[in-house]
A and B are shown apart, each in its own frame.
Chain A
Amino acid sequence: MNKFYLLFLAIAITFSSFSQEDTTLVVVEGQEDVMAYNAGIELFKAGDYQQAIAKFDEAISFNADFAKAYLNRGSAKYASDNIDGAIADFTTCIEKNDSIGEAFYARGRANFDKAEYDKVLEDFDKALEKSYTEERKLYYFRGVIKFLREDYEGAITDFDKAISLDFDKKSAYAYNDRGSANLKLEKYDAAIADYKSAFRISKEYAFIPNNLGRAYVKKEEYKKAIDAFSDAIDIDKEYVLAYNNRGDAKMYIEDYKGAIEDFNKAIMIDEKYAYAYNNIGRAKYKLKDYEGSLKALNKAIELNPEYGEAYVNRGIAKEMLRDREGRCADWKKAVELGVEQAKNYALECK
C-alpha cells in the first residue's frame, strides 16, 4: 500500500511532465515510437502494466534511443514488482540521456526497496544536480535512510527540509517519520507533536496513531497511549500491532485481564502472531497463573523456535513452577539466541 502510493507519485510526475510537452507535439509521419509510447502511458494509468510494458517495448523497437520510454517501462516494471528489471531500464534511460532528474530519482527509489542505500544516496545527489523538481521526496527518503542507519539527528534535519518544501497532505509521512526519529532520540514531547501533526494531516494511516501511542508509552502516559492505540484500531480493525500494543500499555496500568483480551484479539486476526502469545505469557505470569503463562509461551516458541525473548520468559515461568532444570535449559537457549538478560539468570543454574 505505502510502496504503491509512492510509486504512483513517481509515475504521475513522470507522466505529467511528459504530457505537458506532449500538448505541443505535432504528430507527423515516422512518429510510431511516440504513438506507442503514449499508448503505454494510457495503459499504465489504467493499471495494465504488462500491456504498458509491451507498448513501451514497441516504442523502443522503433527508437532504441528513446530515453523516456526506458524510464516509463522501468516504472511499469517497478509497479509490477520487477525491481531489477526496473533498475536496468532506469540505467539505460540515464545512459541514453543523463539529464533526466526523474530517472535518477526512480532508480534511487527502486534501490531503496533493495536496501541499497549507498546507491540511493548517490542517485538522489544526481537527481538534485539534474534539477529534479520533487526535492522533498529526496530529502524524505534520505531522512529515512539516515533513520535506518540510526543517525536520528541527521534524519530529523532531512525530514525538516522535506516538510519545509511541501505543505500538502503528503507530508504526513515526513511528520510521522520525524516523530519516530524524535522517539528514538527519546524526545517524546517532540515525537508526540510530530505524530499529532501527521494525524491532523491524514486520518487515513493507522500507523500514525499507533506510533503516537508508542510515544505515550515511552512517556509513561499509559491512558493516553491506550486511547491512541484505540484510534489506530478504529482506522484499521485488522491492525494486529495496535492490539498487541494496546495490550502492552494495559500491562503497565496492571490491567492484565484487559491486556489478555487485546492480545487475544491480535491472535484472532493473525493466529501465528507469536508476540501476542509471548505477551499473554507475561500477563498471566503477573496474574500468578504460571501454568497459563507457560502454555502461552510454549505456543510462542512453537510458532518461532528462534524466539529468544520467549525462552527467557518461559524460563521465568518455569522457575515459579519449580521446574529448575527446565528454566535453566530455556535460559541457556536464550543465551545461544543472543538475549543478554538471560546470561544473568543463567548464573543461577550453575
Chain B
Amino acid sequence: MKKTIYILTLILFTIQITAQNVEFDKKVFKNDKEGFKEAMKNLDAGNELFEQNLRGSYKMALEYFLKANNFNPNNAMLNYQIGVCYIKSISQEKSLDYLLKAEKLNPFVAGDINYMLGRAYHYNLKFDDAIKEYNKYKNRLAPQELTKKRKIIEKRVAECEIGKKLVAEPIRAFIDNAGENINSSYPDYSPLITADGSMMIFTSRREGTTGDGRSLQDNQYFEDIWYSYYMDGKWEKAQNIGKPLNTKDNDATVGLSPDGQKLFTYLGKSNGGDIFESELNGEEWETPSDKSLKKYINTDYHESAASFSFDGRAMYYATNKPDNSFGKHDLYISYWDDEKERWGEPTNLGSVINTEYEEKSVFMAPDGRTIYFSSTGHETMGDFDIFTSTLDDDGNWSKPENLGYPINTPGDDRFFVVEASGKKGYYASDKTGGYGEHDIYIITFLGPEKPMIASVEDNLIGSLTNPVKEAVIQESVAVKTMRLTILKGTVKDALTNEPIAAEIEVVDNEKNQVISVIKSNSATGAFLVSLPSGKNYGIAVKSEGYLFHSENFNIPSATNYQEIHKDVLLSKMAVGSKIVLENIFFDYAKATLRSESYPELDRLVELLNKFPSVRIEISGHTDNKGSLTTNKRLSKARAESVVNYLIKKGIPAGRLEFEGYAYLQPIADNNTAEGRQKNRRVEFKVLSN
C-alpha cells in the first residue's frame, strides 16, 4: 500500500513538472519554426557567454537569454540562468522572480538553486527568507561539499543578520543623483572630489570616449576620465579631461589630492593592474607616469585604489600581492621619499583594517585621520560595504564601522569619497531610478535624528495657578564634524595681479618641521591646504624673485571644520616693500624669542642669503595698550632680538637696522581684540636693493 502511494505521488509530481516546464524542443514549437530557431540561437550565444564565468559575460549573456525567455518563458533552466546572470553582474535584485519561477518549474533545476535563491532574497533585503534558503542549501549538501562550503554559507547568513540590523536603523542622509550634467546612460563611477567640493573627477564609459573603442569583454566603451566644476550651486556639464590622461584604452580615476593638483590613475593593462601618477601644471595634466611607483608600489599583482594623505606625504592603496597580506586585496600605506623622489616601501595597515577578504577602494579624508574603504569582510551586509575607521594619536586604527544602510546595500558599495567637511560624500551605484547603469550619487549626511523638544506644563503645586513649564528633550545629539581647517585662495603678483606658481610651505611651528609643500596652480594661482586641528601652523608662500608671505594659524585640537579663504599677493624684492612676519612669537611682555619663531626666522635668513646686497629694517609694533614709552622700548627690544638672531645666523650686521614704533603705525583697528592682535607684529622693510 505504502509503495503504491509513493509511486502515485511520484507520478503526479512528474506530471506536474512536465506540465509546467517547457523544454526547448522543436516538437513543442513546431508551429513557430522560425521563432524557435531564433530562440535557440540566442540560447546558444547566451550559454557560451555564461560558461565564461566573467562578470562582463554574464551581463552580455543576459541580453540573449532574455530574448530566448521571451519566446519560451517557462523553461526552468533558462529562468535559473537568467537569475544567475543577474546575481553575477548588475541589478542583482531582478534575479529573484526568475529564480523563484525556475524553482517552481523544477525544484531540482540546479544543485545550488537554494543558494542562488538565498542570494536573490539577500539582494532584495528579504533577509529572513535568504537565511532560510541558505540553510536549506546547507542541509542538502553532502558532507564533503559541506566542509568546502560551510564557511561561505555561514558568512552569508551572518551578513543577513547584519543586514537586518542595519536596515532596521537606516542612517539619515539625503542621497541624490548627481544629475544629468554628471551622469549618462552609460556607467559613471569612481568619483573623486577636491577637499572643498569644488571639482569632481570621475570615470565614465560613455559615448565620446577617446578613440571610440569598446571592450571585447562587455562591448562597452572604454573608460575615460571626466571632470566637472561646482558653480553657483550646481555641477557644470562634465567634460572629457582629454589627453594625455585619456588614451584609447581604459583610463580610470583612482585618487585625487585634496587640492586637485595631483591624480592617481589606474591602468588595467599594465602588469596585472597598476597605479600611475600625474600632476596638473597650469591647465595641463602631465602624462601619467609610474616612475615614482615602480620600485615599491606596482607589482605583478593587482594594484588599484590609491589615495593621497592630506599633506601629500603618504599614499594609501590596495594590492593583492601575497607577502604580509591577510588575504586577497589589503590596504597599505607608503610614504614619500624626498631623497629618492619616489614612494617608499609600503606597510600593511594591519589586522584591524585588513581581513582575509577583500579591502579596496581606499579614501583618506583631508583630516588626515579618517579612512574610508570597501570590504567584503568586517561586518558587511553583503558583497562590498563601505567602512570607516579613524587613526588615534598613537597611530592605532579604530574598529571599522559600517557606514550603514542605505549607503551600504547587500550589493557592491564602493568608490566612496567625502569632502573635507565630512558633510557630503560621493559614490556610485546602479540603483534604480538613475540615468542608466552606474551613476554617481551625492550623500548629504544628516547625522543621527535630532529630537524635537516637547513643551508640556503641569499644575504641580495645588495652591499656585501658574503651571510649571517643562521642556522635554531626549539626550541631545552630538554633531560630529571633521576637525580641520581648509585654507584656500590664490597667489598673485601684487602689482600685475597675474597668478603665480608659488610654493606653499606648511610648517609645524612647535616642532620646527615642514609638514607639506604644495604648489599653487600656475594658470589660476589657486591653492588649497588641509590643516588638521591641533597645531600651530606657519604658512609661507614663496616664489622665485618675490618676498615671501607668511601666515599663522594656531588651531586648537577642538576646532571644528572651517574653511578660510585667503588671497595672497606677493611683492617683488623692491625698495620700500614691507612684509609682516606672522610667525614670530615672543614671551608675554618680553623680548625673548620663542622657539616657534625659528622656522620663520630661518626663512628670512634664506631670503637674505639669496639676495646678498639687500639691506633691511626690522621693525617692532605693538597695540595701544600701555604707555608709549613702555611700548617703544618693548617693540624696539623685540626688533633687536630678531636682528640678533639673524646676525647669529651669519647675516652681516651692516645689512640690518632695527626700530621700535610702538603703536604709532597701526595696520588695524586697536578697538577690537582682533585688530590689536594684528597690530602686535614684526615687519621687515627693504631699505636698499
Contacts and interface: CB of A to CB of B under 8 A. Distances in A.
B450 A207 contact: no
Contacts of A316: 450, 452
B460 interface: yes
Given A2-B463, A281-B452, A344 B560 contact: no
Interface string A249-291: 0010000000000000000000000110011011001000000
B288 to A, nearest CB: 37
B560 A309 contact: no
A173 B452 contact: no
19 contacts: A2-B465, A3-B463, A144-B461, A207-B458, A208-B462, A210-B458, A211-B459, A241-B456, A241-B459, A245-B458, A275-B457, A278-B454, A282-B452, A285-B452, A310-B455, A341-B473, A347-B479, A347-B481, A347-B560
Contacts of B457: 241, 244, 275
A345 interface: yes
A3 B562 contact: no
A313 B453 contact: yes
B478 interface: yes
B479 A348 contact: yes
Contacts of B467: 241
B205 to A, nearest CB: 32
Nearest to B562: A350
B168 interface: no
Contacts of B450: 316, 319, 345
Nearest to A174: B462
B328 interface: no
Contacts, number: 103
A244 B458 CA distance: 10
Contacts of A328: none
B235 interface: no
Interface in B550-609: 560-562
Interface string B60-87: 0000000000000000000000000000
Contacts of A309: 453, 455, 471
Interface stretch (A14-22, A73-81, A176-184): A176-184
Given A177-B463, A205-B462, A241-B467, 10 more contacts: A2-B462, A173-B463, A176-B462, A214-B458, A241-B457, A245-B458, A282-B452, A316-B452, A347-B481, A348-B423
Interface of A: 1-3, 6, 140-141, 144, 147-148, 172-173, 176-177, 180, 183, 205, 207-208, 210-211, 214, 241, 244-245, 248, 251, 274-275, 278-279, 281-282, 285, 309-310, 312-313, 316, 319, 322, 339-341, 344-345, 347-348, 350
Contacts of A148: 461
B667 interface: no
Nearest to A349: B479
Nearest to B454: A248
A344 B447 CA distance: 12
A241 B423 contact: no
Given A319-B450, A341-B476, A348-B481, A245 B462 contact: no
- What are the 6 tightest A-B residue pairs by CB atom distance, in nearest-first order? A207-B459, A173-B462, A180-B460, A275-B455, A309-B453, A313-B452
Given A313-B452, A319-B450, A341-B453, A350 B459 contact: no
B216 interface: no
B453 A344 contact: no
B174 interface: yes
A319 B444 CA distance: 11
B464 interface: yes
A344 to B, nearest CB: 5
Nearest to A334: B453
A180 B462 CA distance: 10
B9 to A, nearest CB: 50
A158 B456 CA distance: 27
Contacts of A244: 455-457
A340 B472 CA distance: 13
Contacts of B454: 248, 251, 278-279, 282
B423 A245 contact: no
Given A183-B460, A341-B476, A347-B481, A3 B465 contact: yes
A90 B464 CA distance: 22
Interface in B442-501: 446-447, 450, 452-465, 467, 471-473, 476-479, 481
Interface in B508-552: none
A141 B464 CA distance: 11
Contact of A312 (B452, B459, B460, B462): B452
A172 B481 CA distance: 52
Contact of B478 (A6, A207, A344): A344
Given A348-B479, A350-B560, A350-B561, A241 B458 contact: yes
Contact of B462 (A172, A285, A310, A340): A172
Nearest to B469: A275
Contacts of B459: 207, 210-211, 241
A155 B215 CA distance: 84
A245 B477 CA distance: 24
Nearest to B455: A275
B188 to A, nearest CB: 24
Given A207-B462, A347-B479, A350-B561, A245 B456 contact: yes
Nearest to A293: B452
A245 B454 CA distance: 10
Nearest to A312: B453
A177 B458 CA distance: 12
Contacts of B562: 350
A293 to B, nearest CB: 8
A316 B462 CA distance: 36
A322 B173 CA distance: 11
A172 B460 CA distance: 12
A310 B464 CA distance: 26
B476 A144 contact: no
B453 to A, nearest CB: 4
Contacts of A322: 174
Contacts of B471: 309
A177 B460 contact: yes
Nearest to B176: A322
Given A245-B456, A279-B455, A282-B452, A180 B479 contact: no
Nearest to B465: A2
Contacts of B478: 344
Contacts of B455: 244, 274-275, 278-279, 309-310
A275 B456 CA distance: 7
A312 B473 CA distance: 11
A258 B450 CA distance: 22
B460 A345 contact: no
A176 B462 CA distance: 7
B191 to A, nearest CB: 21
B456 A177 contact: no
A344 B481 CA distance: 11
Q: Which of B455, B460, B471, B560 has the most CB of A within 10 A?
A: B455
Nearest to A137: B463
Nearest to A183: B460
Interface string B636-680: 000000000000000000000000000000000000000000000
A109 to B, nearest CB: 10
A348 B479 CA distance: 7
B261 to A, nearest CB: 26
Nearest to B459: A207
B457 to A, nearest CB: 6
Contacts of A348: 423, 447, 479, 481
Contacts of A341: 453, 473, 476
Contacts of A345: 450, 479
Given A207-B458, A309-B471, A141 B452 contact: no
A338 to B, nearest CB: 11
Contacts of A312: 452-453
Nearest to A242: B458
B464 A2 contact: yes
A349 B429 CA distance: 29
A345 B480 CA distance: 10
